[in-house]
Amino acid sequence: MVRPMRPVPLGLAHTLGFDPTAEDTAAAVGNAGVEAVATVTLILWIEATCAPLLHPYLEEGEAGVGVRVAVDHTGPAFAGRPVDVHAEATAVSGRKVVFSVRLEQDGREVMTGEHTRAVVDLERFLDGRAAPRVRPERPPVAFYFDVHSPWSYLAATRIGALCRRYGAELLWRPVHLANLIETIGGLRPMEQTPARVAWYERDVRDRFRENGLVHDPRPDYPLRPSRALRCFVYAAERGCAEAFVLAVMRGYWSERADITDPAWLQRMADAAGLGPRPMAGIAADEGYKAAVARNTAEAIERSVFGVPTFLFEGKLHFGSDRLDMLERALAAAPAGG
Q: How far is it, in rounded angstroms, from Cα 53 to Cα 13?
A: 7
Q: How far is it, in rounded angstroms, from Cα 47 to Cα 36?
A: 20
Q: Which of 14, 35, 39, 112 is catalytic?
A: 39
CB 185 within 8 A of CB 213: no
Among 91, 125, 127, 136, CA closest to 271:
91
Q: Which of 14, 35, 59, 73 is catalytic?
A: 73
Residue 336: predicted pLDDT: 64
Q: Are residues 278 and 177 in the same domain?
A: yes
Q: How far is CA 72 from CA 24, 103, 263, in A?
A: 18, 10, 34
Q: What is the pLDDT of residues 120-147, one digit of tens each?
A: 988 888 875 544 454 558 899 999 999 9
Q: What is the pLDDT of residues 202-217, one digit of tens each?
A: 999 999 988 888 999 9
Secondary structure element (H or E) that encloses residue 66, with its range = strand 62-72
| Average pLDDT of the residues in 19-32 | 89
Residue 150: predicted pLDDT: 95
Q: Which of 47, 62, 104, 242 is catalytic?
A: 47
- Residue 4 belongs to a domain: no
CB 146 within 8 A of CB 304: no
Q: How far is it, in rounded angstroms, from Cα 77 to Cα 304?
A: 58
Q: Are residues 190 and 72 in the same domain?
A: no
Secondary structure element (H or E) that encloses residue 157, with its range = helix 150-165
- Residue 316 belongs to a domain: yes
Q: What CATH number did the domain enclosing 186 receive?
A: 3.40.30.10
Q: What is the pLDDT of residues 246-275, one digit of tens each?
A: 999 999 999 999 999 999 999 999 888 887
- Residue 208 belongs to a domain: yes
Question: How many domains is the chain partitioned into structurally?
Answer: 2
Domain that holds residue 229: 138-332
Secondary structure element (H or E) that encloses residue 146, with its range = none
Provide CB contacts within 8 A for 66, sequence distance 6+.
47, 50, 51, 115, 116, 117
Domain ends where: 77, 104, 126? 126
Active site residue 327: no
- Residue 148 belongs to a domain: yes
Q: What is the pLDDT of residues 59-118, one digit of tens each?
A: 888 899 999 999 999 999 999 999 999 999 999 888 899 999 999 999 999 999 999 999
Q: Are residues 79 and 215 in the same domain?
A: no
DSSP E strand boundaries for 291-331: 309-312, 315-318
- Residue 302 belongs to a domain: yes
Active site residue 39: yes
| Average pLDDT of the residues in 282-292 | 96
Q: Are residues 165 and 285 in the same domain?
A: yes
Please state, rounded to an integer, the average pLDDT across all residues of the chain: 90
